C-alpha cells in the first residue's frame, strides 16, 4: 500500500464489544482507517462488493446465517476485492483449514497482541500472509505429514460423530450414503491409529483437529 493512502478496514463481527475493541486498536495506528462495521457475514460480503475496502477483519462464527469462512470465499472470489484476515477465538483445524482454503490472507486469535493485529492488517494489505503461531505450526505439521492429515470431509464426519450422531444420521446430514460414511471412518481410524469412534474423537480433540 502507498504510505500516503490509508489502509481501509471493514470490521465484521456479531459482537459490538469486539468491534469496538478492534476499532480502538486500529484507530490509534497511523495509516489505518476503519471505514465500516457489520454484524453478519452476509453484510460483510455486501459491503465488500461496494468497494473502498482493502482489508476485512472477519469473525468465523456469527449468530445466524453464513459463516465467516463462507463469506471469506465469496469476498476473495473477486481478485480485485479486499483481503480477509480472520480474527476469532477458534484455532482448531476444523476452523482454520476451511478459512484458509476459502482464501483468508491471515488468521489471528482474538487474544492476539495489538501489534500483531496491526501487523496482520499491514501484511494482508501488502499481499502477504499473517498467521497466529499456533495456526502456522499446525499447518506446517499438516504439510509435512499429509498422509495422517484429515480431509475436510473426514473432519466433518468426525465432528458429527463427536456430536453423538449415528452413521445413518451423519449420512443424512451430509447427503452421503451410509457406506461412504463408514469408509470415511475407516480412513479416520487408520490416520489416527485408533479402532473406535470414541477413541477417534479423543485423539482428534487432543491433536486440535476438532473444535473443543
pLDDT tens per residue across span 29-56: 999 999 999 999 999 999 999 999 999 9
**pTM for the predicted model, two decimal places:** 0.69
Distance between CA atoms of residues 153 and 53, nearest Å: 33
Grid cell digits, residue 181: 460414511
What are the structural domains, with CATH classification, of the chain?
7-142 (3.40.50.2300), 146-206 (1.10.10.10)
Position 145 scores a pLDDT of: 58
Pinpoint the alpha helices (H) of the chain.
Answer: 16-26, 41-50, 68-76, 93-101, 114-125, 133-144, 152-162, 167-174, 178-192, 197-206
Position 35 scores a pLDDT of: 96
Distance between CA atoms of residues 68 and 60, nearest Å: 4
Percent of the chain topping pLDDT 90: 52
Residue 2 clears pLDDT 70, i.e. is over it: no
Question: Is residue 144 very low, low, confident or very high in pLDDT (cuts 50, 70, 90)?
Answer: low
Grid cell digits, residue 54: 482493502
Amino acid at each position: 500500500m502507498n504510505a500516503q493512502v490509508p489502509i481501509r478496514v471493514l470490521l465484521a463481527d456479531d459482537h459490538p464489544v469486539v468491534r469496538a475493541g478492534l476499532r480502538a486498536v486500529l484507530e490509534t495506528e497511523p495509516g489505518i482507517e476503519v471505514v465500516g462495521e457489520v454484524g453478519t457475514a452476509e453484510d460483510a460480503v455486501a459491503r465488500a462488493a461496494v468497494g473502498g475496502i482493502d482489508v476485512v477483519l472477519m469473525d468465523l462464527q456469527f449468530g445466524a446465517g453464513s459463516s465467516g469462512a463462507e463469506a471469506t470465499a465469496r469476498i476473495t472470489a473477486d481478485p480485485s476485492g479486499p483481503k480477509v484476515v480472520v480474527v476469532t477465538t477458534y484455532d482448531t483445524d476444523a476452523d482454520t483449514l476451511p478459512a484458509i482454503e476459502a482464501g483468508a490472507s491471515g488468521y489471528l486469535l482474538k487474544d492476539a497482541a495489538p501489534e500483531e493485529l496491526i501487523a496482520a492488517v499491514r501484511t494482508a494489505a501488502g499481499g502477504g500472509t499473517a498467521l497466529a503461531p499456533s495456526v502456522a505450526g499446525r499447518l506446517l505439521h499438516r504439510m509435512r505429514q499429509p498422509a495422517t492429515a484429515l480431509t475436510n470431509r473426514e473432519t466433518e464426519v468426525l465432528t458429527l460423530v463427536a456430536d453423538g450422531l449415528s452413521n445413518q444420521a451423519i449420512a443424512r446430514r451430509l447427503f452421503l450414503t451410509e457406506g461412504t460414511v463408514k469408509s470415511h471412518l475407516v480412513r479416520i481410524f487408520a490416520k489416527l491409529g485408533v479402532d473406535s469412534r470414541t477413541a477417534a474423537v479423543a485423539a482428534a480433540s487432543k491433536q486440535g483437529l476438532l473444535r473443543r
